[in-house]
Amino acid sequence: MSRLLYGANVQANGIRQHYLRYGGKGQPLLLIPGITSPAVTWGFVAERLSEHFDTYVLDARGRGLSSTGPDLDYGTDACADDIVAFAQALGLEDCLLVGHSMGARFILRAHTRHPDAPFSRLALIDPPVSGPGRRDYPGKLPWYVDSIRQSIGGMNAEDMLAFCPTWTEEQRALRAEWLHTCYEPAILKAYQDFHELDIHQDFPQSRLPTLLMVAGKGGVIGADDQAELLGLLPSLQIVRVENAGHMIPWDDFDGFFIAFGTFLGHSFS
C-alpha cells in the first residue's frame, strides 16, 4: 500500500511550487531531485523515506507541475531560494534536506544563502563538482536534450531504453511519461551552472551536519574531489555506494538507504 498522501501546490517565492507528500508523520524531510527528474519519478524513494519521515518531494521550477516558461530565472540562486520559501510556506521546522545531483547543489546553496532557515541536516547525493577551471561534468548535454525533445513528441518505455538501458520497464515508462515536463531552457541553465558556478565555495559556509554520498561507479566525484571537500569542510561525512552509478537508488536501492547509516536519525539497514 502506497504511503503517498497527496500532491499539492503552494505559492512560494513568487511561483507555483508543486510537491508530493508521503507518510505524514515524523520529522519533515524535503527531497529535491536532479536536473531532469520530476518529483513523481522519485516516488519509490519517498515511499521508503516516509517510513520514518514526513516526506515532501518538490518539483523544481521548470519541471513537473511547478511553474515554468520563458520568464522565470532558472539559476541556482533562484532555485535555492525556492526551497527556503517552500519550507517557510508550509511551516516546516527542523527540516532535513536531501538533494540528488542538481538538487544537492540547490540545498547546499539554500543553506548558505539563508543560514537561519529552518533546516537541520544536509544530505548531498552525488552532486556535480565541476565548475570554472575544473573538469567537465561527465553527463553530456545531448543525453538530456535529445531525450526531452523526443518525449515532447511522445515516447514509451521501449524508446527510453536507448537513454536508460539499466532501468526497469516501470522506471523507464514513468520517465517517458513525465520527461516532457522538463523545460529545456531550465535544463540548459542548470547544466550551464554545473560548469560556471563553483559550489566548493559553499562547503566552508555550511553550519549544519552534512553528508556527501558518492556513487562508486558514477564518475562524478573522484578521490581528489573528496579530499578537497574534506579540506573545505572537515566535519563532512563521506559515504560511498560502490556498485551504483550516478542514479544511485536506481542502481542499488538497498545500498542507497544503508549508506545513510544513522545520519538522518534512523537506520534503514
pLDDT score recorded for residue 1: 87
- Domain assignment of residue 242, yes or no: yes
Contact 239, 261 (CB under 8 A): yes
Has residue 216 been placed in a domain?
yes
Residue 267 counted as domain residue: no
pLDDT for 105: 98
Q: What's the confidence (pLDDT) of residue 29?
A: 98
Mean pLDDT by 10 residues, the chain (269 residues): 96 98 97 98 98 98 98 98 98 98 98 97 98 94 97 97 95 98 98 97 97 96 97 98 97 97 92
What residues make up the domain containing 74? 4-259
Predicted pLDDT of residue 132: 95
Backbone phi and psi for residue 5, each to the nearest 5 degrees, phi listed first: -90, -50
Residue 13 is assigned to a structural domain of this protein: yes
Tally of structural domains, the chain? 1
Q: Is residue 109 part of a domain?
A: yes
- At residue 22, the pLDDT reads 98
Quick: pLDDT tens for 108-151: 999 999 999 999 999 999 999 999 999 999 999 999 999 999 99
Rounded-to-integer distance, Cα 109 and Cα 84, Å: 10
- CATH no. for residue 23? 3.40.50.1820
C-alpha cell at 136: 567537465
Phi, psi of 65 (to 5 degrees): -105, 10
**What cell was used for 149?**
525533445
Q: Is 51 inside a domain boundary?
A: yes
Specify the pLDDT at position 269. 73
> What is residue 152's predicted lDDT score, i.e. its pLDDT?
97
Within-domain flag for 268: no
- Of 129, 111, 131, 130, the closest CA to residue 120 belongs to 111
